[in-house]
Amino acid sequence: MFEPGEIVIAKFPFSSLESTKRRPCLVLAKGDLEIDLIVAFITSTKVPTNYKYSIKISPLEKEFLTTGLKVESYIRIDKIATLHESIISGAIGKITPQIRNELNNKLKLLFNL
């Protein structure tokens, strides 16, 4: 149902697993089961420039509206979860080819590929 590169709204778990928050997430891949999606956290909280696993999505970018995001946001590819599709409310947009290239480079860096 959802495809890699789509930005969705989901109940994303905090890293402590104490609670969840509805937030945008980027679909990175489908799991072995079609109902499982591997997603990365998206936040509107400004991320320090020394965070090497974050990607800034700026409203100043020409294709910002395709993301469905309302404000400057950051994809945190070091905050990944596998979510059942039932906790995803729906898709709001998709990333641009430029963001996808940056994402691929940062994933290689993160996983030492």
Give the pLDDT confidence of 19-45 residue by residue, as tens digits.
677 899 999 999 999 899 999 999 999
Position 16 pLDDT exceeds 70: no
Position 60 pLDDT exceeds 90: yes
Hey, what are 16's tokens?
Answer: 């402590």
Q: Report d(CA 62, CA 29) in Å as an integer.
A: 26
Tell the residue number behind the tokens 């641009």, with chain if given. Answer: 96
> pTM of the full predicted structure?
0.91
Report in angstroms the alpha-carbon separations of 32 from 7, 57, 82, 98.
20, 29, 11, 27
- Dump pLDDT digits (tens) for 47-57: 988 999 999 99
What pLDDT is attached to residue 17?
61
